[in-house]
Structure 1
Amino acid sequence: MFPSNIAACLLLALSIGWSSAQNLPSIAEVDLLFPRNDTYAPTVLMPLVFGIQNPSAAVPLHLSLWWNLWQLEGGNMTGYGVIPKAYYIPTGARQYYEYSSFYDLTTIEGTWLFQWHVDSVNCSQFPANNYSMGSYTQGKRIIFTTKNGAQAPDLVTATADDVCASAEGFTFNVTGLEKVSIRSPDNPDGKDSVTTCADVVPMSPTYRPNPCAAQLNATGASSISLALTTTACWLPSSVVSCPAKSAGSLKGQLGGPIWAVATFGWLLYSLVR
């Protein structure tokens, strides 16, 4: 379990984060910012970064981001993860970032197939039933390489003006919101939970995604790098270089839950701008 003060902070972030008051229609966008179809030096903490544009509109989509990583030389899946229902923070934020790392997976030279897909809801197409909201899945894949002597992963370079437009992503045209009641079969008191579900229609053929709007500057990239290192330092047997004081104290408090976070790619941190 999380210590009570950390759990309280997470709940507060969720409670203040989003209001159902929206200017509709509104377009949300999910972009894969890193890795790209490129070659990088092997590293313990290869970043995995998604940019979510117009996060307030994305909340009722109930996004889940799934991924797996394969080393093509051996044909083996080396890692996988899920980012379930991201913690969208303040209303009015233009960008929101979800991130993790391929912790201890890309430390050798190789060619890697990265597959990712986005689960989202659309109550106009998949109406909610008593137990769930229907989910729609879209997926993409990229191949990247690790090679000794290549460039180190650089989030600023990967989202720079000359390359940002080629980032892969998905857009969602949210035209309405519906209040739905979901009944959990495991709920002992039999009460329904009420949530908001998005109505989504196809994008206009003339619309063009804008992944460049999710560019990372040096401050944002440094914040993500620090967060990934700190998360890895919470592991009981971290393979990264960690400050002894912070690593030791955090391991003692959160060693169990954070091991799962770092290993499977679930995210504790978010960066908003």
Structure 2
Amino acid sequence: MLLRVPLSSLLALFLAILAQAERRLPANLQVDLLFPRNETYAPTQWFPIVLGIQNLDALWPLDIGFNLEVLSMEAWKNNSSGGRADWQHVNLRPNLYGFPVGLELAPVKLFLHYPVMNMTNGTTDSFNLRWGITFVNRCFANNSLDYGGNSWSSGGNSSMRQITFSTAPGGQTPDVAATVDSCPEGGQNSTVVRVNEVRKTWGTGDQCPVFETDVEPARCAYREVAQELAANVSAAILRRMRCEEGTWQNITSPCVPKDKESGATLLTGLQRDSSSWALVLGLALAAYYNVF
């Protein structure tokens, strides 16, 4: 059951906590694309993307943007107009530069973001998953006066990191828990920076972090929560399907709600552009829904 708290109360609580926030620097900000990997998966009705963010609590407040999008290569190839087939170009990112204000929550050590994409209209496809983090300003330790320079992105000149995954009959069953538990190498699935200081830009007073990029990502940070994370992802997908039971990987057609069968009024499910967030407190995961 979801506990509903008035937005004004949540916002007031967030602002109060934010006012008392104190950075603990230096600290590593690590973002991991936990699922999927560069694999071929069996088609499913809905497919999860799982993003983990470590140590945001030690760096907050911090102006940072997160980007996450998925593009169907088949739709791109077959689009005769030469433009994007918009329904296949799915923007799954968290709120940019307002994070985590959109959640009305103060950051903790580990955030997990797991939106889902609708794959009902195709069974065989390749997908280009692009993601990255962005700082609006970047300062450097040897500059006493700094305008902040250009923004910085974890994807370098391309601004986004990229992986490709596929779906096809006979592919492996999507398994979030097994993938997270296996602690695969980071590669294009991980990015980390060490923030040593947060200054203010000269003249404008904007946040301007001083950070290093030559940092090795920590591995296996999510292993202890792999099973619980997978359970939360499963629950979120079943809610999105409006299914009350079953295994999301095996459900290929819409469920008939039991309330509808009995003639009762069915409550509206999640909105079309909603995403699931979980905060890890110890091993406890609490799911929140945020419309962007």
Q: TM (normalized to structure 1)?
A: 0.70
Return the alpha-carbon distance in structure 2 between the equivalents of residues 69 and 158 of structure 1. Answer: 19
Aligned length: 238
The structure with the greater share of residues assigned to strand is 1
Structure 2 Cα separation of the partners of residues 240 and 177 of structure 1: 49
**1:75 counterpart SS class:** helix
Q: Which one of 126, 134, 152 corresponds to residue 136 of structure 1?
A: 152
2:238 and 2:62 map into 1 onto residues whose CA distance is 30
CA drift of 1:219 comes to: 1.4
Deviations 1:181-237 (A, max 9, x none): xx9xxxxxxxxxx9x83513223x4x3111421334211211122123324549xxx
Q: Which residue of 2 aligns with 1:202?
A: 212
Distance 2:278 2:13 in 1: 11
Q: Counterparts of 1:226 and 1:119 in 2: how far apart (Å)?
A: 30
Cα offset for 1:115?
1.6
Q: Which moved more, 1:223-232 or 1:32-41?
A: 223-232
Residue 143 of structure 1 and its aligned partner are, at CA, apart by 0.8
The structure 2 residue matched to 1:94, chosen from 104, 109, 119, is 109
**Alpha-carbon spacing, 1:101–1:145, altered in 2? closer, same or farther (3 Å):** same
What is the letter of the counterpart of residue 152 of structure 2? Y
The answer to whether the Cα contact below 8 Å between 2:24 and 2:59 also exists between their aligned partners in 1 is no
C-alpha distance in 2 between matches for 1:240 and 1:135: 44
Does 1:249 pair with 2:263? no
1:95 and 1:26 map into 2 onto residues whose CA distance is 13
2:199 is aligned with 1:217: no
**Bigger Rg over Cα:** 2
- Aligned letter for 2:232? S
**For residue 11 of structure 1, what is the amino acid of its counterpart?**
L
Structure 1 SS opposite 2:266: helix
**2:147, 2:237 → 1: CA distance?**
38
Residue 52 of structure 1 aligns to a residue in which SS?
strand
How far apart are the structure 1 equivalents of 2:64 and 2:126?
A: 29
Cα distance, 1:226–1:69 mapped onto 2, change above 3 Å: same
Distance change >3 Å, CA 25–CA 105, structure 1 → 2: farther
Give the letter for the 2:99 counterpart. Answer: A
Matched-pair contact (CA < 8 Å) for 1:172–1:200 = no
Alignment counterpart, residue 176 of structure 1, candidates 197, 209, 221: 197
SS of aligned partner of 2:174: coil
Once the two structures are superposed, what CA deviation does each residue of 1:51-80 show, in whole Å capped at 9, x if it has no partner? 001121354333332233233234255122
- Offset, 1:141: 0.6
Q: Report SS of the residue matched to 2:21.
A: coil
| Corresponding letter in the other structure for 1:241 | C
In 2 relative to 1, CA 100–58 (structure 1 residues): closer, same or farther, beyond 3 Å?
farther
Unaligned runs of 5+ in 1: 184-193, 262-266
